[in-house]
Amino acid sequence: MATEKRPYRFVVLGASGFTGQYVAQEVARQQMNPELRGSALPWAVAGRSREKLLQVLEKAAQKLERPTLPDEVGIIICDIINPASLDEMAKQASVVLNCIGPYRFYGEPVVKACIENGASYVDISGEPQFLEEMYWKYHEKAAEKGVYVIGSSGFGSIPADLGVLYTRNKLKGTLTAVESFLTVNSGPEGMCIHDGTWKSAVHGFGDQKRLRNLRKQSNMKPVPVVGSKLKRRWPVSYCSELHEYSIPFMGADVSVVKRTQRFLYEDLQETPVQYAAYVTVGGLTSIIKLMFAGLFFLLFVKFSIGRQLLVKFPWFFSFGYFSQQGPTQKQMDDASFTFTFFGQGYSQDHTTKHGKPNIKICTQVKGPEPGYVATPIAMVQAAVTLLKDTSELPKGGGVFTPGAAFSKTKLIERLNQCGIEFSVISSSEV
């Protein structure tokens, strides 16, 4: 990557958006790290309104008790609908942190500008159709330019993707299958998510045909199943280990992890891991609520007018989980997440031809509020890793998942130091 002649190591694009403001705060917080004293990385915020960007910097300065911050950070004016302005922005950056979504509508111009102007790119998209389409359209172009395009580098899907790799690395043998269970904990005021995520989900589920066609056109051979085939759970199942009911997790994690495993198998000749993702939902009352919400959602996303209603009234149709205002600071302070991974495989003295797996492992990834605390941490550390661990990245550049890009780097160590903690809970032979 070209870094020496560019004025900014990081540019946070969309810093005045709801999530972007927290990403900007996290970059500023990392610059205050004692280990960086005297070698802080120059950075900038970018967007359409200088006034709003300045307000974001002033808010960060107040929160971090760093009054000189607005004078230390560059401001770049650019607009998604103005390709020339995106080109100028990308020319000034080593890594662009793109916070403007839904990415299916606004992501591609930024990816294109970054590749054409030699800037690497990180986003926090949880939209499989966008992520997979960017791979097919731009992987070879990015490789030719020697830049890295890394999608889904927030809560979706760094904890899941790197959690599977962490589980594999900690098993003393060959890991062949993993189930993950996400538990989101909230405080007395409950939880809330900004409606930007809701909009992405509405348009994603409303256009699943496009994703199916994209995968069909790719005509890729399935990755081989090693060892016993992982059995899928029922749509509502009871996890005896966690003592909670669970449902399949509908985010991008499965898509991202599968792409990572394909890369590791095809490019690095590593054993592919089967993967299934679930989210815990508590008791039967929660399941009934979710069933009603899910039925409404799946019915309405099928029609244009239904999608318009879902987007216009997120609080009503999501039973209060999504809103145009987003969570309060108290809700964010009280929230946390836990990913629990149950892995199975074969010990070093067994092979996958010996029948059932004979070893199990349980690991966890824990962190703060997922959307606006953990996501900025993950995104910023992914960008830092792009700059600092260049020799450990896949050679030559391209479009990658987080696991494919960072499997050999120190990203997990960095996340551990920033409050997203990876740990082994138990490991035993069956």
Specify the pLDDT at position 4. Answer: 57
**Is residue 424 included in any domain, yes or no?**
yes
Specify the pLDDT at position 132. Answer: 93
Specify the pLDDT at position 39. Answer: 57
Local structure of residue 64 (DSSP, 8 states): T
Q: Tell me the one-letter amino acid at 215.
A: R
Assess whether 288 and 202 both reside in one domain. yes
Listed range (323-332, 376-385, 388-397) with the worst mean pLDDT:
323-332
Q: What is the arithmetic mean of pLDDT over 390-396?
A: 95
Assess whether 358 and 381 both reside in one domain. no
Per-residue pLDDT tens for 66-92?
A: 999 999 999 999 999 999 999 999 999
**Is residue 411 included in any domain, yes or no?**
no
Q: What is the arithmetic mean of pLDDT over 268-294?
A: 87
Specify the pLDDT at position 408. Answer: 97
Number of domains in the chain: 2
Q: What is the arithmetic mean of pLDDT over 120-136?
A: 95
Assess whether 145 and 247 both reside in one domain. no
Per-residue pLDDT tens for 307-340?
A: 888 888 888 877 777 888 889 999 999 999 999 9
- Helix 253-268 / helix 158-170 crossing angle, nearest 10 deg: 50
Q: Percentage of residues in the chain with pLDDT exceeding 90?
A: 70
Read off the pLDDT band of 353 (50, 70, 90). Answer: low
CATH number assigned to the domain comprising residue 192:
3.30.360
**Is residue 414 included in any domain, yes or no?**
no
Which domain covers residue 107, as residue numbers? 8-155+377-406
Count Cβ atoms below 10 Å from residue 355 Cβ, excluding itself: 11
Listed range (1-10, 256-265, 356-365, 367-376) with the worst mean pLDDT:
1-10
Q: Percentage of residues in the chain with pLDDT exceeding 70?
A: 96
- pTM summary value: 0.92
Assess whether 204 and 276 both reside in one domain. yes
Q: What is the arithmetic mean of pLDDT over 108-113?
A: 98
Assess whether 294 and 361 both reside in one domain. yes
**Is residue 284 included in any domain, yes or no?**
yes
**Is residue 413 included in any domain, yes or no?**
no
Read off the pLDDT band of 37 (50, 70, 90). Answer: very low
Specify the pLDDT at position 320. Answer: 73
Q: What DSSP letter does each residue of 147-184 carry, written as one string?
A: -EEE---BTTBHHHHHHHHHHHHHSSEEEEEEEEEEEE
d(C-alpha 121, C-alpha 90), whole Å = 9
Specify the pLDDT at position 111. Answer: 98
Q: Considering only residues 340 and 211, tell me which one the structure prediction assigns the higher pLDDT.
A: 340
CB 261 within 8 A of CB 272: yes
Q: Considering only residues 285 and 372, tell me which one the structure prediction assigns the higher pLDDT.
A: 372
Assess whether 165 and 25 both reside in one domain. no
Assess whether 190 and 233 both reside in one domain. yes
CATH number assigned to the domain comprising residue 387:
3.40.50.720
Assess whether 43 and 145 both reside in one domain. yes
Assess whether 256 and 176 both reside in one domain. yes
**Is residue 140 included in any domain, yes or no?**
yes
Q: Considering only residues 186 and 209, tell me which one the structure prediction assigns the higher pLDDT.
A: 186
Read off the pLDDT band of 299 (50, 70, 90). Answer: confident
Assess whether 281 and 182 both reside in one domain. yes
**Is residue 164 included in any domain, yes or no?**
yes
Per-residue pLDDT tens for 171-186?
A: 999 999 999 999 999 9
The residue assigned the tokens 């797996």 is 357
Per-residue pLDDT tens for 10-26?
A: 999 999 999 999 999 99
**H helices of 66-145, where?**
69-72, 83-91, 103-106, 108-116, 128-145
For residue 337, what are its two tokens? 């997440």
Read off the pLDDT band of 29 (50, 70, 90). Answer: very high
Per-residue pLDDT tens for 214-241?
A: 788 887 888 999 999 999 999 899 999 9
pLDDT at 1 > cutoff 70? no
**Is residue 344 included in any domain, yes or no?**
yes
Assess whether 260 and 195 both reside in one domain. yes
pLDDT at 209 > cutoff 60? yes
Assess whether 264 and 186 both reside in one domain. yes
